[in-house]
Amino acid sequence: CRGYFDVMGQWDPPFNCSSGEFIFCCGTCGFRFCCKFKKTRLDQSTCTNYETPLWMNTGKPPSRIDDPLHDPTRDKTNLIVYIICGVVAVMVLVGIFTKLGLEKAHRPHREHMSRALADVMRPQGPCTTDHMERD
């Protein structure tokens, strides 16, 4: 099969149909493959996709004509995005500070814990058997 430009404009290089019983070039001008039946053979001389397609020769893009009705200073698209992001950021901050406040409120006070710990750790005096029997 001869090399050709496929329907996507990609160059497909030539290939040989000489493996086993698949010896004929078949398919369409835009999609070719090897087949084994001579009656389905593609007549490649009728194909015209051997040169770069005209639609691929785009060249320079056409110049943009500015729309007189479109005023970029009045375009509010970015403003909406900024507002939404700001609202989300404020909600995240409120959630974080609420969580920190609730954790602090549920936490036992440190001074009570340290006093209780100090009372337990304070020596009670010498331990005697008489003292233990009274308790």
Which is higher by pLDDT, 122 or 42?
42
- Which of 18-47 are b and which e, b meaning 16 or more Cβ less than 10 Å from the residue's Cβ? eeeeeebbbeebeebebbeeeeeebeeeee
Task: Quote the mean pLDDT of the chain.
Answer: 79
Q: Look at residue 127 in the predicted model and tell me its pLDDT.
A: 58
Between 104 and 42, the more confident residue is 42
Q: What is d(CA 48, CA 31) in angstroms, rounded to the nearest whole number? A: 13
Inform me whether the pLDDT recorded for 18 exceeds 60: yes
Report whether pLDDT(30) > 80. yes
Task: Give residue 129's pLDDT.
Answer: 56
Alpha carbons 21 and 50: distance in angstroms, whole number: 27
Whether residue 88 is predicted with pLDDT greater than 90 in this model: the reply is: yes
- Token representation of residue 1: 């099969």
Quote the pTM value: 0.40
